[in-house]
A and B are shown apart, each in its own frame.
Chain A
């Protein structure tokens, strides 16, 4: 627990950050990452004393988004890491060696969405039968919503350009003024 909230992501490429009001969202900060920086980000949080609450998925038009909720033992400290994987090859690196709590959560996410967590030591079905042959939380084409439509609710986010988390680039310095988190509510 050495880094301040501001310096938390130092050295880790982050696509976008949104400082949120924990009283309204239950989350202090949403961090959008590409797959390559997921593991370093999770390792950083584990280092700082955060524990993994859950791993869950969301099915959008743009692909499967995997959400990792991390939390400290302090009020309003929840941080969510968000990673996007395509529908065609839904693959995300496993963080189960960093946070073993993810072992089962990733298996559950694999069950429900078919997202493959590469590097997971035993990615077997956990809640569903092994011969089910379907992933129940995958939505049909026309019931899918765009991720960016949902993100409209985040005025704190930088504008989106294009697809696949194409946010406006973050200023090189992590302490960029525009993304300064609000005081905890």
Chain B
């Protein structure tokens, strides 16, 4: 930043700051985004290129920044709940869970067993929904148009399901401190079973038609090599680190709710490339189905909301941290309380933020076309990065 650009090509603060580091004039600075279709939202990346190869990449964030953390400090505990559906619109229920979990921990609120199962079922449905959209959109990036239509067909069904208990289709606000907003109905249970039955052969279909496709393999295999050590140093989580060979899943590593009672595998692949991350997500959908089916079988009777759940939360002084496994990795919510009905501080740890921060290291030396593949394989949700 202190160094003056050798060639002043103009541009805004970031472009100028980025150029300054380069001293050669035969290199091209390319601005990708913030409206580039493969960035899935408004992410901008400035890239320094030599020929078709990337030398350096700098993601520029903040185009979708809404300062959720400030809103957390001016709203009461309950008023802040709807914000959580808007941090990550694709896996809204995991964020719901992260926040209510942190507050429950702080205020010492017990959650009834039935509510825990309802949370698991809805959260896993939401995870499948998120992975499906990623899958469709990723293939769209790579030039395959048809899969997204199939994905939306399935997504439509999941959204119909989730609409029953939550009342909304995308930005859910369903979990409450001490349980959930309303009970699930028999129809929901029945339809969810029906969906599981229908979705399993669909996954096999996707494997045969898409995953085994030669062109897709060429675009993903050995692209975006991410060593485990790099992933760990950057705090990458979720399918990104599981594609690098580490079975790190918060549901297992730091068990919460009733996950310890449920049987499921944590899919891991050692290949470290975009394909490994792809396969992790495809396997995860199957595991989520397994979890849902078990949870439906085990669903106990009882309260969906703790009868003693406070209508107005006044958390005691202190702080707490709660982590859940979102579709993109570890979601962490830190809440500090001054004893009033408004949090003193809410910190949202977003997994995509950490996952994207290693993009520069990952993209160096790759072709620009592969960078699109790498970017997609990280599964970015921009509102979650920008918060």
Report B-chain residues with C-beta under 8 Å of the C-beta of A125.
62
* Residue B206 lies at the interface, judged by CB distance under 8 Å to chain A: no
How many residues of chain B have a CB within 8 Å of chain A?
48
Given A24-B105, A136-B70, A152-B317, also A126-B253 (CB < 8 A): no
In the complex, which residues of chain A have a beta carbon less than 8 angstroms from the beta carbon of B70?
136-137
Among B322, B344, B347, point to the contact of A56 (Cβ < 8 A).
B347
B316 touches A53 (CB 8 A): no
A126 and B13 CA atoms in complex are apart in Å by 11
For chain A, residues 155 to 184, give those with C-beta under 8 angstroms from any C-beta of chain B.
none
**Once bound together, how far apart are the Cα atoms of A129 and B97, in whole Å?**
31
B300 on the interface (CB 8 Å rule)?
A: no
A51 touches B232 (CB 8 A): yes
B353 lies within 8 A of A104 (CB): yes
CA distance in complex: A52, B332 (Å): 12
A25 contacts B319, C-beta separation under 8 Å: yes
Shortest Cβ distance from B336 into chain A, in angstroms?
6
Chain B residue contacts of A8, Cβ below 8 A: none
* Given A53-B235, A69-B332, A136 and B17 contact (CB-CB distance below 8 Å): no
Q: Does B313 contact A (CB under 8 A)?
A: no
Identify which of A54, A122, A130 contacts B347 (C-beta below 8 A).
A54
Given contacts A26-B321, A53-B349, A69-B321, contact A145 B338 (CB under 8 A): yes
CB-defined contacts of B357 to chain A, threshold 8 Å: 100-101, 103-104
Measured CB to CB, the nearest residue on chain B to A76 is B254
Q: Which of B246, B330, B332, B337 has the most CB of A within 10 A?
A: B332
Nearest Cβ distance between residue B248 and chain A, in whole angstroms?
A: 5
A133 at the interface (CB under 8 A from B): no
CB neighbours (8 Å) of B317 from chain A are 149-150, 152-153
- The answer, yes or no, to whether A5 is at the interface (CB within 8 Å) is no
Is B234 an interface residue when CB atoms closer than 8 A count as contact? yes
Secondary structure type dominating chain B contacts: mixed
Say yes or no for A74: interface residue by CB 8 A criterion: yes
8 Å CB contact of B345 from A46, A58, A131: A58
Known: A74-B253, A75-B254, A75-B255. A112 touches B321 (CB 8 A): no
A126 x B316 contact (CB < 8 A)? no
The docked-state distance in angstroms from the alpha carbon of A26 to that of B101 is 10
Contacts of A122 in B (CB 8 A): 1, 17
Let me know if A51 and B233 touch, CB within 8 A. yes
Chain B neighbourhood of A73, CB < 8 A? 246, 248, 253
Residue in B62, B253, B358 whose CB lies within 8 Å of A127: B62
In the complex, the chain A residue whose C-beta lies closest to that of B13 is A130
Nearest CB on A from B287, distance (A): 18
With a CB–CB cut-off of 8 A, which chain B residues contact A15?
none
* Assembled-state Cα–Cα distance A69/B253 (Å): 16
CB atoms of B105 and A27 under 8 A apart: no
> Distance (Å) between the CB of A41 and the closest chain B CB?
17
- B294 to chain A: which residues have CB within 8 Å? none
* Interface residue A9 (Cβ < 8 Å from any Cβ of B): no
The 8 A CB mask of A97-128 against B (1 = contact, 0 = none) is 00111011100100010000000001011111
Cα–Cα, bound, A127→B62 (Å) = 4
A78 at the interface (CB under 8 A from B): yes
In the complex, which residues 351-387 of chain B have their Cβ closer than 8 Å to any Cβ of chain A?
A: 353-354, 357-358, 361, 386-387
B318 at the interface (CB under 8 A from A): yes
B65 engages A128 (CB within 8 Å): yes
Most buried by A among B67, B69, B321, B386: B321
Residue from the list B73, B234, B318, B323 in contact with A101, Cβ < 8 A: B234
Q: Are A100 and B234 in contact (CB under 8 A)?
A: yes
Instruction: With a 10 A CB-CB cut-off, give which of A25, A53, A77 has the most chain B CB atoms.
Output: A53
Q: List 12 A-B contacts (CB under 8 A).
A: A24-B320, A58-B336, A69-B334, A73-B246, A73-B253, A75-B253, A100-B361, A124-B13, A126-B61, A150-B317, A150-B319, A150-B336
Q: Which 5 A-B pairs rank lowest in CB-CB distance, beginning with the nearest?
A: A153-B318, A26-B321, A101-B235, A130-B13, A56-B347
Apart from A24-B105, A71-B254, A136-B70, list 5 A-B contacts with CB within 8 A: A52-B235, A58-B345, A71-B323, A101-B354, A149-B317
